[in-house]
Structure formats: C-alpha cells, structure tokens
Structure 1
Amino acid sequence: MSANLESVTDTADLAQSLREVFGRAQRALREQSGRFGLTPSQAEALGYVLRDGPLTITALAKRQSVRSQSMGATVGVLLEQELVTVTPDPSDGRQKVVTVTEKARALVAKGRNARTDWFAKQLDTLSPGELRTLAEAQKLLGRIFP
C-alpha cells in the first residue's frame, strides 16, 4: 500500500513540476511574438475566430465569459486594426458575424514563425542525446494531450 501511495505522490510531484515548466515555456514563447499591440482579451477573441471560423459577437462573448457589449467593444478595436470584418448574420440580421482577415492570418503566422524560430534556437543548445530524450518525451506528452 505504501508503494502505491509513494508512486501517487511521485506522480503528483511530477505533475506539479511539469505544470510549472509548461507555464514558464508558455510565457517565454508568448514573449517571442508579443500580442501585436493587442490586449489579452483582444488576442483571445481573435484566436477564437481564427480557430473556430466566423462567430457571432454573442458567441465570442460566451466563450470569453463577458457581456456582448464588452465583446462588441473588443471586436471594434480588431475591426479598426483591420484584423476582422463584421457582417450581418444571414440567419438573424440582429446578430453580427465576425470573420478574420488575411492581415490577421499573416500576423498570426508571423508570430508562430517567431516562436518556432526562437524555440529551435533553444533546442540547438541541447546535445544529440538530450534531443533524442526530448523527442521521446514529446511522444508521451502527445499521448497525454492528444
């Protein structure tokens, strides 16, 4: 029984340690491309529309747990920066549909490339054996986070 309890504690310790490392990694990667002058909520809204396709302002507001009026202001900034377009919803003219622009897609791609380039430079500091170990860990992490 104590061996099982010890492995659970070890697993919990590993989980905590990995969570902390992932958090630092996420912050470091975010710093490499910035948010292009967007606030976190504006960047998050743009990300939702980019990943999930055109969304109504109401749907975006629900995803970010904010009021539609607040999301309308957020979308207004994205519209001013030409990162989204806003059109009437064909099925409900009272609703507005938000779609990303090519400018937004290019901006996001630029950020992704900057993060990838920075990360590749960090990986270049590892030995071939460490890279193999990391490649094996990546496979395991891929199973945990499919």
Structure 2
Amino acid sequence: MNDQPDNSQAIRASDLAQDLRTLIGKLKRRLREQAHVGDLTPSQVSALLRLEKDGPATASSLARAEGMRPQSMGPVVAALESAGLVSGAPDPTDGRQTLLSLTDACRKWVEEGRAARQDWLTRTLQARLSPEEQDKLAEAVELLKRLDDD
C-alpha cells in the first residue's frame, strides 16, 4: 500500500513531463515563426548558432561539433555562403584550411530575429497574463531553471 503514493507521484510527474514537452515544442515553433528563418534548414540554423557561440571554425570541426559527417556539412556551408550568411578566410595557422565565420549581415539578421522573438513574447505575456499570473510564471521559470542545472 505504500507504493500507491509513489506510483501516483510518478504518474503525475510523467503527465507533467508530457505536458511540458508539448508546450515547450509549441512555444518553440511560435518563437521560430517570429524570427523569420525563411528557407533555412534546421542544420543550417544550428551551424549558424554554433558559429555565433563558438566563433570561427573549419567545416570539419563544425561538422564534428554538430555530430555530422564532414561530407554532410559541405552542402550546409555552401548554402550558407550562397545566402551571404557565412564567409571563409584562410586559417592563419594552417593556410590549407578555411575558417568559416558569420558575416555582418548574418549577425544583424540574428539580432533582428532575437529582437522579434523577444518583442512577441513580451507583448504576449502582457496581453494574456495578469501581473499576478506573470509573478506565478516567474516562479515557475525559476523551477524550470533547476531542471537544467548540471
């Protein structure tokens, strides 16, 4: 009989996890819509974000970081170069390799996308949640942060 509370808590946690995953997925899609990603594939977006976070990289090191084969990264990089989002320059330590980095146009596009997502979420919070509900959400965000603590 002592297993009953533990089982109901496990079921509640599982239901909560499913609801949270579903909601986060929907929220991510809504935020993506605000960023105007256009025709970029998830791999292209991921590569851009990696270059933004980690700085210039070779295509092969970028492929390793993204868990891709170097041959698969080639078309991703080519599309990003064609779109004017990344540029290549000789590696100063090994001229045989090319270091890829974000272009100024890409950095501006990333900033504008973040600003659009921030603006949409701010307006949505203000329009749909009372100040008291926003306080509750702030508390929930603190709890969610604990889920990501390493």
Q: Above 0.5 in TM-score? A: yes
Cα offsets for 1:40-82 (capped at 9, x unmatched) = 2221111111111111100112233333233122212222222
Q: Is 1:120 paired with 2:118?
A: no
Once the two structures are TM-superposed, the CA of residue 141 in structure 1 deviates from its matched residue by 1.0
Once the two structures are TM-superposed, the CA of residue 140 in structure 1 deviates from its matched residue by 1.0
Aligned-partner SS, 1:35: coil
- How is 1:34-73 mapped onto 2 (pairs within 5 angstroms)? 34-73=36-75
Q: Where in structure 1 are there 5+ consecutive unaligned residues?
A: none
Q: Is 1:137 paired with 2:135?
A: no
Q: Percent identity?
A: 42
Q: Is 1:10 paired with 2:12?
A: yes
Deviates more, 1:33-42 or 1:52-61: 33-42
Once the two structures are TM-superposed, the CA of residue 37 in structure 1 deviates from its matched residue by 3.4
What is the aligned length?
146
Q: How far apart are the structure 2 equivalents of 1:110 and 1:36?
A: 13
CA RMSD of aligned residues (A): 1.6
Q: How far apart are the structure 1 equivalents of 2:44 and 2:122?
A: 28
Q: How far apart are the structure 2 equivalents of 1:98 and 1:64?
A: 14
Cα offsets for 1:64-122 (capped at 9, x unmatched) = 33332331222122222222121222333333211112211110010001111111111
Q: Where in structure 2 are there 5+ consecutive unaligned residues?
A: none
| TM-score, length-scaled by structure 1 | 0.90
Q: How far apart are the structure 2 equivalents of 1:36 and 1:108?
A: 12
Structure number with higher strand proportion: 1
Aligned-partner SS, 2:121: helix
Q: How far apart are the structure 1 equivalents of 2:94 and 2:26?
A: 43
Match of 1:28 in 2: 30
